[in-house]
Structure 1
Amino acid sequence: MSQPTWRPGKRVAIAGGGPAAVSTALAFIQRGYDVRIFERQSECKPIGGAVLLNIPVLAILRSYGISMENIGSFTTTSFQNKNSHERVQLPFNKEIEKRMGIKGWQYGVLRSSIFQKMLNLLPSNVIYTSHEFKCYSELEDGIELTFQNGEKVTADLLVGADGIRSAVSRQAFGDPNLFHAGIRVWLAWCDQIPGIPENHGVISHDWQYQASFFPMLHEGKPGFEWWIVEHSYDGKPVPENPKEYLSNILQNWAQPLPRLLEATNFEQVYRWEIFNRPSMKTWSVGRVMCIGDAIHPVSPYAAYGLGMAVEDGYFLARALDGVDLRDGAAVRAGFEVFEKQRVDYVNHNMEFARFSGYMFHSLPWPLAKIRDWIFDYTPILGNLLKKDYLKKAEEQTMNMKELHV
């Protein structure tokens, strides 16, 4: 894929070098725009552990040119208590499977693996490293970016994809009012272990912890991603021995989670304190659009953070397809289309994930035990998942007709 010159009317500058930025770049390049990614670090390198990608995200990545052959395999997802009593199994939508040509709903991958596949699709001269965004200035028919190294670049459009502490978002919208979401996540993975079903994932809870696992592929090799979620707060002490600490949590948990822990290299375990910001009703100002964690950081209870970032880039480029970006009115009209498609949808997922984190990790013991009894013996959890998680995602997927096979 060759990258053209920096042509007025087609210049898209992206602050940040993560999955949201790279997805945006790939989507705009496909539509004939000139793109530059400005990353503050010396390289674009993913952080975090394993992630789950659902069908619409996989379809977008496929449209960019990523092969589905070594992504993973379809997986049934079961919600259980710690003793392996099943509460609900996440249903598949056969019509979506048929329309998209992808079986199942969620696939487990390592963040580093899928991000590298995305990076491999970019032209070599798109990424500008060691360019930390400082500020922007709106022009009559463009926007000027200034970087901490003193360099300046004029573009037609600025996409803020520079993470939860986004400098672009701060200039555009002010203090993000970040707050701790009340949970800490331990992300881990290990190679395949004989005797554990390869196409079955489990999300399980006791009264205060979540402990879950999912099959995945890493560089074409099968393995398992697993994670533990616990109550936390800003400044909570970090255990000196994470393996011992997590082993104590899983001591009486149903297999195979204790086996997965024993098979894990703890040098690769990632601890993640979850921060959020209040939901925003608009993500754009002038010629600036913020996406991904820069405007809607998502609790891992959505299992959708990286996925929504990938979707943001795709939908933004789709909304501006064919637009002369010098035309401010046309840009704003494209932004309105994008925000109409994305803002309420993303905010719903963001808020449902935040609510889920509170419900599973911040209720006092008596209420938590009542919650567990309700989820163990009634269909309420299944109804919540179908109504607040699956329904809107399935509706969005059915409307992505250009990606149907």
Structure 2
Amino acid sequence: MPRAITNVVAWYWPNSSDVRYTSNQSHSTDQFDLILQTLTNKGCQVSIKRWLDQIVDATTEQTPDLLLISLQTAGEQGYYLCQELRRQAIAQHLPIVFVGSRDSDQERSEALRCGGNDYLQLPVTSEDCWLRLKHHLSTAQLVRRLQADQLDLTKRIGEYSRVLEQQEELKASLTQENQTLQQLAFVDGLTQVSNRRGFNQNISARWEEAREKGQRISLLFCDIDYFKGYNDTYGHVAGDACLQTVAAALQRGARRYNDQVARVARYGGEEFAVLLPNTDAEGARKVALAIQEEIAKAQIPHKGSLIKPFLSLSIGISTLRPAQLEHCAYEDLIRCADDALYSAKLQGRDCTFLNTTQPKQLVAEESTQLWEASVNYQRRICKKSGFKQSTAS
């Protein structure tokens, strides 16, 4: 805020008993005293400094409203001081008035050239002196108010910027928390794969994508054989650990074939789904084989199983091309995969079954090719598992 009291610093060596003056000097000092007295009478606080270092301290520690320099006292050092002050940001707008006792154009020019605001030639009347100095004091006060307003504005801008930064940080934090909550809403807490909600959202989007691009989309339904017997034998804590192991094996197996598109989800209980966008029946079979190999390598003991001493999976596969199925939706892909899983269980479990049952809109040629591929594949799987091939579709 602008100061209530006007501060004036004068570089002046007043008349004293230890200094001898000529008649002209005495006259000059009397005139300078008159200037100082006039300022005092107008309510200014005048501080008289004798030495250069005192002037420097007085103008840099707290910038005054006006600096008077008596050239009779300061001489050439007065010009030097003015130049130095103008180089400092704190004194760039400080009114500096030189007071001289000679009618010298050179002295006046030098005073203005070095950065002075005015030059007063003595003698001068009290009224004329005040009118000229009042102008400089008013300008100084105006500059000081503008600087204070600018400082206040800068402070407010800084505070506003900090508020904006805090809001941005809060927004980023909320966005991160929302993303985390959204992920939690679509992730199974036990196995850390997608849950049923996440699966439905994903398959809906991938189905429409496959329709637009004319691509096939495959779905695997995987069910742990005799999982109820596993829980009854080992307990639910071990059952939870088993589900986690199976989920990890499914992810490894699915991504061995295609790490970019395979998406594993816990569909419910001990049933898992593996969604394979842009994947045909042959690709889906390779994924199923990789999953069966991962489960076999895990060697999870299963005394409650009726078919083997280790945990096993039954897998059902369905592959469709949405662009050729005008009135079908992703629920039809799920239904076909679920039917295939049921067929795998009918064949004795621990095997994979490809469902060749297609909606009527699918061209007969593609249906025949899929059926032939399925029959050949079932012969290989059943031969490997030791079960007889089912003739049922």
TM-score relative to the length of structure 2: 0.22
Whichever structure has more strand as a proportion of its residues is 1
> Higher relative contact order by CA 8 Å / sep ≥ 6: 1 or 2?
1
* Pair member with larger Rg: 2
Whichever structure has more helix as a proportion of its residues is 2
